[in-house]
Amino acid sequence: MKPIVRIAVALLSCLAISTGALAQMSGGMGRMDTDGDGKISFAEFETSRLAQFKAIDTDGDSVLTAQEIDVWSKARIADMTARMGDADKAAQMMQRRVDALKKADTNGDGKITLDEFKADYAAAFKALDANGDGFLTADELKAAMRP
Query: For residues 76 and 97, what is the distance between their CA atoms, to the nearest angstrom?
Result: 10
Considering only residues 20-39, where is the footprint of Ca ion by CB under 5 A? 33, 35, 37
**73: which strand partners?**
none
DSSP state of 64: E
DSSP state of 106: T
Contact region for Ca ion (CB under 5 A) — 6-14, 75-83, 90-98, 101-109?
101-109
Q: What is the CA radius of gyration of the chain?
A: 15
- By CB under 5 A, the count of residues binding Ca ion is 12
Contact region for Ca ion (CB under 5 A) — 6-14, 47-55, 88-96, 111-119?
111-119
* 107 sits near Ca ion (criterion: CB under 5 A): yes
Query: For residues 2 and 76, what is the distance between their CA atoms, to the nearest angstrom?
Result: 28
Q: Phi and psi (nearest 5°) for 38?
A: 85, 0
* 109 sits near Ca ion (criterion: CB under 5 A): yes
From the list 5, 21, 63, 123, which residue makes contact with Ca ion (rule: CB under 5 A)?
63
* 57 sits near Ca ion (criterion: CB under 5 A): yes
Of 87, 60, 57, which Cα lies nearest the Cα of 72?
Answer: 57
* 99 sits near Ca ion (criterion: CB under 5 A): no
From the list 27, 61, 84, 86, which residue makes contact with Ca ion (rule: CB under 5 A)?
61
Q: Which is nearer to Ca ion, 57 or 129 (CB)?
A: 57
Q: Is 83 left (phi over 0), alpha (psi -120 to 50) or beta?
A: alpha
* 59 sits near Ca ion (criterion: CB under 5 A): yes
Sites of contact with Ca ion (CB under 5 A): 33, 35, 37, 57, 59, 61, 63, 105, 107, 109, 111, 116
